Amino acid sequence: MNIVNFISVSAIPIIIIIIILYGIKEKKKVFEIFLKGAKDGIQIVVELFPTLLGIFLAIGLLRNSGILDFIIELIKPITEYFKIPSAILPLAILRPISGSASMGIAIDIMKQYGVDSMIGKIASTIMGSTETTFYTIAIYTASVKIKKIRFVLLAALLADLAGIITSVVICQVLS
């Protein structure tokens, strides 16, 4: 176990040293390249900030307005017909929108039902098989200045739906 600890603690410093030595070998100005990269990184953050602010505002409105509960009540008859536990519906709805919100819901599910329960297993599998679609698409498309995202969004949401349905089916079959 000590060797694993040593490797995990020393990995990043070793990589930094390798980069510096490689830069010296190639006769590159490593610190100037680092500063240029840092400036570029700050510029990207400044360009993405309005998009992120809009996403976080929308998530806050969705969570606090009661719309989420309304949507769950609307789709509950359909999910009950397909034997999808209603306890995972908030997670299934928020996962494509927000990673932190879905993580909070997943933790609440684990606390309430337990990690080894059917609902806990489904929640864990959903967290691993889906993506924070809106956030990811917003970041990638904003960074390369793409405006038309409807086909990417549709494909990504269908992939999330497939991940959610597959998570439920696999957990039910394997239990």
Question: In this predicted structure, what is the pLDDT of residue 137?
Answer: 87
Question: Position 30: which residue type?
Answer: V
User: Looking at the structure, do residues 21 and 88 belong to the same domain, yes or no?
Assistant: no
User: Looking at the structure, do residues 74 and 111 belong to the same domain, yes or no?
Assistant: yes
Q: What is the DSSP code string of 22-84?
A: HHHHTT--HHHHHHHHHHHHHHHHHHHHHHHHHHHHHHHHHHHHSHHHHHHHHHHHHHHHTT-
51 falls within a domain = no
User: Looking at the structure, do residues 105 and 37 belong to the same domain, yes or no?
Assistant: no
156 falls within a domain = yes
Percent of the chain scoring above 90 in pLDDT: 37
Q: What span, in angstroms and rounded, lies between the C-alpha atoms of 84 and 114? A: 17
User: Looking at the structure, do residues 34 and 1 belong to the same domain, yes or no?
Assistant: yes
57 falls within a domain = no
User: Looking at the structure, do residues 39 and 118 belong to the same domain, yes or no?
Assistant: no
Q: What domain range includes position 101?
A: 66-174
Average pLDDT over residues 67-72: 86
What is the tens place of the pLDDT at every residue in 84-100?
Answer: 898 999 999 889 988 87
User: Looking at the structure, do residues 125 and 153 belong to the same domain, yes or no?
Assistant: yes
Q: Binning pLDDT at 50, 70 and 90, where does residue 167 land? A: very high
52 falls within a domain = no
Q: Binning pLDDT at 50, 70 and 90, where does residue 1 land? A: low
The total domain count for the chain is: 2
